[in-house]
Amino acid sequence: MSARFLSKAYKARFEGKGRPDVLLLGIIAVLIVIGVEMVYSSSFVIAYNSPLYRSDTYFLVRQLMWVGLGILCMAVLMRIDYHRYLRVTVAGMVIIILMLFVVVATNFGYSSYGAQRWLSLGPLPPVQPSEFAKLALILYLSDWLSRRGQRLKNFAYGALPFAVMLGLIAGLVLIQPDLGSAFVIVLSAICLFFIAGADLRHLFAGLGAGAIALVLAVMGAGYRTNRIVAFLDPEQDPLGVGWHVIQTNIALGSGGILGLGLGASRQKFYYLPNAHTDAIFAVIGEELGLVGTLTVLGLFAFFAYRGYRITVQAPDTFGAFLAAGITFWITFQALLNIAVATSTIPFTGITLPFISYGGSSMLVSFAAIGILLNVSRQKVGFVPEKNRNKGAQPAWGRVDGPSLRPTD
């Protein structure tokens, strides 16, 4: 291998043009393959029988379309230097707040299953702003936290504005209502606040206030209280509030070790509500058994590990917070969906990333992976000159980047 080639490769590594995390790409690819298979398997019954769809491939075709758009989005964002987002984090947050407000307060909001979570855009497919809010908030907080430094421990400069912004976003999502997404948003943001060096007294006080707010949100809605009752004793009302818990348990229990076989699920025949979205993990358990569910769990655990590696190798605090936030969000959302499917926690509707059917969720998840892959391309030691005074400080106490760059 020539010295000239080595020199180019070395410079590319420190100029943010290195190879993206191939293992992370592999994880996402496997999850997508599993997701496409399971979306078709879990949806073809309702798609074929319903006069609204009239084709057993209705959901499969749309899922493939969203996957294609998502891959294109990921490929583009993977090549855009993540420091460019420093210019638009505030504007993006304002746009998301306006979209969330429009959903709940105007006629542009689109309702389904008793929830008004979608924004109707005429002939275009409805979009779910709460999904985009997850990424927008992580971008904004990563920028905001990287600028605060030691001032983060000051209540007026740290905990108070953090709580106001987080409360505004989570509150708008909660009143749609979408408790699952609100919970993921809050948990991801709190984890970012913690690793940024927040004062533990402020953090625990905020956790206490959040726990009280969660209890009030549950008690303030009768259907949420019923879900807790169903979680504790589903047999009390097996044809009503306990139906979902019982049917998911039957699906998982029927699968055994190796499953009934791909496409052989019985619970998807109108027993399991939302089999292709919120309850898709139960169908995986029924058709692919314990082996299939452990495979999915293992893929998300490996994803969390690769996200951690990218976080600690990020060249600055903005990149580290960005990578950590995306990793927290996708991992927590996957664990929440799986916990609901296995009756570990009371039911709340939320998709399984890269596997469940859904346009907004799929598109924004791919966008997040594209940004994460761009962070992985930029190695320790490189901070673009134009970004050094814009919240892009070296991560985890490392020395400034230029001292590590090769000299000509």
Q: What is the pLDDT of residue 274?
A: 86
Residue for token pair 């106001």: 164
pLDDT of residue 235: 79
DSSP 121: E
Domain boundary assignment for the chain: 36-399
Whole-angstrom distance, CA of residue 201 vs CA of residue 132: 31
For the chain, the maximum distance between any two Cα atoms, rounded to a whole number of angstroms, is: 75
Other residues' Cβ atoms within 10 Å of the Cβ of residue 406: 10
Q: Which residues of 186-221 are buried (b: 16+ CB within 10 A; e: fewer)?
A: bbbbbbbbeebebeeebbeebeeebeebeeebbeee
Which DSSP letter does residue 125 get? E
Could you count the other beta carbons within 10 Å of the beta carbon of residue 101?
A: 14
Query: What is the pLDDT at residue 392?
Result: 45
Residues 177, 87: Cα–Cα separation, whole Å: 31
**How many other C-beta atoms are found inside a 10 Å radius of the C-beta of residue 37?**
17
Closest CA to 279 of 319, 325, 228, 245: 245
pLDDT tens, per residue, the chain with 408 residues = 433 433 444 444 444 468 899 999 999 999 999 999 999 999 998 998 888 888 889 999 999 999 999 999 999 999 999 999 999 999 999 999 999 988 887 766 666 666 677 777 766 777 888 899 999 999 999 999 998 878 888 888 888 999 999 999 998 998 888 888 998 999 999 999 999 988 888 888 888 887 787 777 766 666 667 777 767 777 787 787 788 888 999 999 999 999 999 988 999 998 988 899 989 999 999 999 999 999 999 999 999 999 999 999 999 999 999 999 999 999 999 999 999 999 888 877 789 999 999 888 999 999 999 999 999 998 664 444 444 444 444 444 433 333 222 222
Distances (CA, A) of 233 to 49, 222, 237, 253: 33, 16, 8, 18
Q: Distance between CA atoms of 130 and 171, rounded to whole angstroms?
A: 11
pLDDT at 185: 94
- Would you tell me how many other CB atoms lie within 10 Å of the CB of residue 151? 10
